[in-house]
Amino acid sequence: MKRLSIIGAGNMGSAIASLFLLHGWQARLIDPSEQARLSSRRKVLGAQAGGSEDDSRISWHASLAAAHDAELVIEAAPENLELKTEIFRQLEDICSPQTILASNTSGIPINMLAQALSRPERFIGAHFFTPADIIPLVEIVPSLLTAPETGEYMLAVLRGTGKLPVLLKQDIPGFIANRLQHALAREAISLLEKGVASARDIDTVAKWSLGVRLALTGPLEQRDINGLDIHHAIAGYLYENLESSRQPLRILAEKVEQGRLGVKSGHGFYDWDQPEQRRSLQRKDAALRRLVSLLRESETEGHAEQ
């Protein structure tokens, strides 16, 4: 049986474990926090068919030593360079020289993490997206020192779990998805700060125009469909009016200072203490699963017609 160890038993680590369990892997979740391990146990076992608690393929541990015989280790610890570096240094002492080590970081350069390792050729970035057991994409990011076969291994493993991995040619800050996401979010936050529309109306525009199209057509493909001459003409006068701040916008900084952090604190751009907002969260995962299923059907039909 293929053995996976996951460092970090939070939402991301738990979802990754659920994904691999569904595809026949043995998974060990490692986290020094007993509360995190207990919470993860409820999430993972609740996600399995029947909610069985006697699944011998999943276990929870406090020590990194539990990863000693893993074929693959995926780190999903907090976004802290020193913490991640120390975790991987210890893992190199604990694990076999053949073990593949992967980081789920969404922002720390893979090259920076690789430089601290003695076996950087077997280290790679594997950026999952929340919820990791539903969203198909994973960004695979090799460092300058990663061996080509390590990238090929990660592509094969993730495709075997039904994922759609993309292998980046360069390790750049934010990779691809976060750069696109932050560009859109910066403009949306700027529109809110300027009083152009309410948060709900701005989100409505994004979901029911861009969002609907993006589910089937990427931004570069859409430019081809619209016509590059048209896009070039609009870009000529629009770019100078787009938000270009090099720092987080004032309205965002103020909300963070006030502790208005979003769902986790009950307030952010929305009031998450309202019952209807809470219910919308509960519906999103189920809706995402249906959407992914429909998109996969569309992709399959498209390939069959080619």
Active site residues: 106, 127, 139, 178
Residue 181 phi/psi, 5-degree rounding, is -65, -45
Give the C-alpha separation, 210 to 191, whole Å: 16
Give the C-alpha separation, 60 to 300, whole Å: 37
| Contact present, 150 and 119 (Cβ < 8 Å) | no
SS3 298: helix
SS3 155: helix
Tokens read off for 231: 């896009």
Tokens read off for 198: 């309410």
Torsion angle of the four alpha carbons 188, 191, 192, 197, in this order, in degrees rounded to the nearest 10: -110
| Contact present, 126 and 176 (Cβ < 8 Å) | no
Tokens read off for 40: 């993860």
Give the C-alpha separation, 132 to 126, whole Å: 11
Looking at the DSSP bridge assignments, the partners of residue 167 are 140
